Amino acid sequence: MMRFPGKTLVSAAALLALSTLPSFAADKIVLRSSDTHAADYPTVKAVEYMSDLLSQETKGRISIKVFPAAQLGEEKDTIEQTQFGVLDLNRVSLVPLNNIIPLTQIPSLPFLFSSTEHAHKVLDGPIGDEILASFAEKGLIGLAFYDSGARSFYNAVRPIKTVEDMKGMKIRVQQSDLMVGMIKALGANPTPMPFGEVYGGLQTHAIDGAENNWPSYYSTRHFEVAKYYSISEHLIVPEALMMSKKTWDKMSKEDQKLIREAAKKSVLKMRELWQAQEKVAYDAVVKGGAQINTLEKAPFIAAMSTVYDQYVTNPQMKDMVARIRATK
């Protein structure tokens, strides 16, 4: 997969996007959306499905153009672009929003959700809405959560079976203080790094490992350079689909409603695509030589629990964690 981590290229692409800002005066609105994943990844397909729905509803008046493969930059940069209104829509993991929007840290806590079903129950309900609503303070409109399976550790050195096996390992994390804390809690060395740099980092041994779900482990071909995948499933953290508040405020109430509805409908499409892709990815990495092991989770749960004290800092957050645990 081609990526463009270089700053110059990224800003050139962003400038290009700027020069083609959607014209709200004209009768057609083409919203620009970013995704770090390649064109065939479920998240990209789901936003394209949303575009089809919008286009059908409005007889072609509103649609979305997705720029995949980090063409417009890595997640941290595109989040800023979305806040500034350079980008209209953005699909990112919830994790790179952690340092900007405090409530996004809650679903990013290790071992909080017991299963995908548990996560769906919480995120489809009032707690999910509360988290999405909190995006608005930061110039973003939270539209929906997408599935992202469970993240587990993988590395190029050895299978991880115990917490001790993590000691001293350099593990890449997404750009979030919470993730840094999580890896430190295991006695490993966290290295925050953009997604597109991980393959090179593993190849050159700048890092020993990373953590992600099956489809990302596969699509990035990280399994080629970090073959030990240890099923820790420490994070069931969703993806977020959001809109720039600047774009949102320019739209009519009716169009805003159409956008919200199409986004919600795309969630179901995403779930279908995701389930299929998890299986495809798993089979492909096994075939590609990944060495997979399961581990006993209890010691990891215990070691990582310290991040709750460190990052769940105010009464609203504490209350939300309690409500999530009480959701059955």
Interface with ligand GTR by CB under 6 A: which residues?
36, 75, 92-93, 148, 174, 195, 212-213, 216, 239
- Residue 118 C-beta: closest distance to ligand GTR, Å: 19
- Tokens 């995120």 belong to 123
Q: In the bound complex, what is the minimum distance in angstroms from residue 268's beta carbon to ligand GTR?
A: 18
Determine the straight-line distance between the first and last CA of the chain, rounded to whole angstroms.
40
> Could you tell me which residues come within 8 angstroms of residue 57 by beta carbon, excluding any fewer than 6 positions away?
258, 262
* 208: its two tokens: 């020993």
Beta bridge partners of 140: 244
Q: Which residue has the tokens 């597109």?
A: 196
- Which of 171, 110, 179, 153 is closest to 290 using CA atoms? 153
Nearer to ligand GTR among residue 57 and residue 197 (C-beta): 197
Q: Please state the closest distance from residue 153 (CB atom) to ligand GTR, in A.
A: 12
91 membership: H or E segment, kind and range: strand 89-93
Minimum distance from residue 301 beta carbon to ligand GTR (Å): 21
Tokens of 174: 């997404």
CA 217 from chain centre, in angstroms, equals 14
Shortest distance in whole angstroms from residue 107 CB to ligand GTR: 13
Nearer to ligand GTR by C-beta: 251 or 267?
267
Residue (21 or 100) nearer to ligand GTR, CB: 100
Q: Which CB sits closer to ligand GTR, 92 or 202? A: 92
Q: How near is the Cβ of 36 to ligand GTR at its closest, in Å?
A: 5
Which CB sits closer to ligand GTR, 71 or 93? Answer: 93
Other CB atoms within a 10 A radius of the CB of residue 9 amount to: 13
